[in-house]
Amino acid sequence: MGFLSDALSRIKPSATIVITQKARDLKAQGRDVISLSVGEPDFDTPDNIKEAAIAAIRRGETKYTPVSGIVPLREAISRKFKRENGLDYKPSQTIVSTGGKQVIYNALLATLNPGDEVIIPAPYWVSYPEMVGLCGGKPVFVDCTMEHNFKLQPEPLERAITPRTKWIILNSPSNPTGAAYTRAEMKAITDVLMRHPHVWVLTDDMYEHLTYGDFEFVTPAQVEPNLYERTLTMNGVSKAYAMTGWRIGYAAGPDHLIKAMDFVQGQQTSGAASISQWAAVEALDGPQDHLKVFRKAFEERRDLVVSMLNQSKYLKCPMPEGAFYVYPSCAEAIGRTAPSGKVLKTDEDFVSELLEAEGVAAVHGSAFGLGPNFRISYATSNAALEDACNRIQRFCGSLR
């Protein structure tokens, strides 16, 4: 009998973490490395949120919290969903977890039985299929090609649904592509789901506030109210409020699902960190002025990166609607030879050689389930992005 669980054989390490660590290691060795692999805003947490956390410490808010979150935060979450999404949730229908990842994992652990299927549009965030596998479920991938701007189409979704389908995970704006669904595009998806009442919807709306131009964010239960009773709407403060290290995710859904997730979380971590929760109350209820600043900066960076990548030999980069990622195709580079003499056979070869030759860390698209592409995070300074894109252009120009 082996010591380690068989469950470990069903999952892979996070490619984004692996690449980011490799970039750190190279920097530690003295290499000049620009890391575009991590999905983390480079902005600092707004001061009003920091001050709310300091005030909570001074009030002595340092004890264990209820498993599902402090009441003021659950009330703030209810107000947020009503104010921004037109969704009515009682505070008792909400839950607070240690990051959005725990929300998703709790929902899957509370609902999946062996063999239950979860539809995951590809490209996908690297953790979705691994969490499904850990919980005993079966991920079912539906390719969303660059031809359709990496967005799920109704017909392949319909074909993917079986009697064993329990969930679909919808992420808009998307990590890794930045693609976001318009109201009409989301309605086409929800129309399919209305024909299959046994399928639940798990949304990942973490990048809700990071959309550009005139794009209007929508979430499934907002577009199709009849899905309300079988939708878990997940969000968090990490991206829009630059609070990645505070580790607060939240969700709202039907009472019986929230109670089941509370039951699971009660035997895992119990309540999230008390100080982080009080900071999140201020994030949701306090001034939102910083969002305009964030969006303006990210939109400028997006435009810079897309323009420069499309000036690179062998690359094609679509213009995403949101988040802070681009997902260029490197298909024309496959089969060519890098300066090291290595023939590029895959997108993983492409990003590996790019890191070795030019010190630019990106993540290969195959890690997200669809290639040959690679993901760049533009959550860093314009100067660093321009430098990195110049290096990418030089690398692509050196391929033979």
How far is Cα 277 from Cα 53, in angstroms, rounded to an integer?
A: 8
Amino acid at site 244: T
For residue range 337-360, list pLDDT tens digits in order. 999 999 999 999 999 999 999 999
Q: So what's the pLDDT on residue 61?
A: 98
Q: Given pLDDT bands bounded at 50, 70 and 90, which one contains residue 155?
A: very high
Q: Given pLDDT bands bounded at 50, 70 and 90, which one contains residue 69?
A: very high
Q: Given pLDDT bands bounded at 50, 70 and 90, which one contains residue 103?
A: very high
pLDDT at position 1 over 80: no
Q: Given pLDDT bands bounded at 50, 70 and 90, which one contains residue 23?
A: confident
In terms of Cβ atoms closer than 10 Å to its own Cβ (0-12, 13-18, 19+), residue 299 is middle
In terms of Cβ atoms closer than 10 Å to its own Cβ (0-12, 13-18, 19+), residue 195 is exposed
pLDDT at position 173 over 90: yes
Evaluate the omega torsion of the peptide bond into residue 139 and state whether it is cis, within 30 degrees of 0: no
Residue of 186, 207, 189 lying closest to 199 (CA atoms):
189
Q: So what's the pLDDT on residue 162?
A: 98
Q: So what's the pLDDT on residue 19?
A: 78
pLDDT at position 298 over 80: yes
How far is Cα 344 from Cα 355, in angstroms, rounded to an integer?
A: 13
Average pLDDT over residues 140-152: 97
Q: So what's the pLDDT on residue 136?
A: 94
Average pLDDT over residues 91-112: 98
Q: So what's the pLDDT on residue 9?
A: 81
- Mean per-residue pLDDT of the chain: 96
pLDDT at position 16 over 80: no
How far is Cα 384 from Cα 30, in angstroms, rounded to an integer?
A: 17
How far is Cα 171 from Cα 149, in angstroms, rounded to an integer?
A: 14
Phi, psi of 398 (to 5 degrees): -90, -10
Q: Given pLDDT bands bounded at 50, 70 and 90, which one contains residue 141?
A: very high
pLDDT at position 2 over 90: no
Q: So what's the pLDDT on residue 20?
A: 77
Are the beta carbons of 220 and 252 closer than 8 angstroms? no
- List all residues 6 or more positions away from 118 whose beta carbon is below 8 Å from its beta carbon: 108, 112, 128, 132, 137, 138, 139, 140, 165, 166, 167, 168, 169
- Tokens 């399928």, located at residue: 199
pLDDT at position 15 over 80: no
pLDDT at position 335 over 90: yes
Q: So what's the pLDDT on residue 117?
A: 98
Q: 10 Å Cβ neighbour count for 234?
A: 25
Q: So what's the pLDDT on residue 114?
A: 95
Average pLDDT over residues 99-105: 98
Sheet holding 249-252, edge to edge: 94-97, 249-252, 231-236, 200-204, 165-171, 117-122, 138-143
Are the beta carbons of 391 and 360 closer than 8 angstroms? yes
Are the beta carbons of 204 and 170 closer than 8 angstroms? yes
Q: What residue ranges define each of the domains in the chain, with the CATH number in brackets?
A: 6-44+290-398 (3.90.1150.10), 62-285 (3.40.640.10)
Degrees to nearest 5, angle at CA 61 with 59 and 65: 160
Out of 13-27, 65-79, 201-215, 307-321, least confident range: 13-27
How far is Cα 138 from Cα 116, in angstroms, rounded to an integer?
A: 6
Amino acid at site 382: N
How far is Cα 369 from Cα 391, in angstroms, rounded to an integer?
A: 26
Q: So what's the pLDDT on residue 7?
A: 82
Residue of 87, 37, 48, 71 lying closest to 208 (CA atoms):
87
For residue range 364-388, list pLDDT tens digits in order. 999 999 999 999 999 999 999 999 9
Are the beta carbons of 355 and 282 closer than 8 angstroms? no
- List all residues 6 or more positions away from 376 whose beta carbon is below 8 Å from its beta carbon: 36, 305, 309, 325, 326, 327, 328, 362, 388
- List all residues 6 or more positions away from 187 whose beta carbon is below 8 Å from its beta carbon: 223, 224
- Pairing type for strands 94-97 and 249-252 reads antiparallel
Please give the model's pTM, rounded to 2 decimal places.
0.95
For residue range 256-277, list pLDDT tens digits in order. 999 999 999 999 999 999 999 9
Residue with more model confidence, 5 or 281: 281
Q: So what's the pLDDT on residue 133?
A: 94
Q: So what's the pLDDT on residue 142?
A: 98
How far is Cα 303 from Cα 155, in angstroms, rounded to an integer?
A: 32
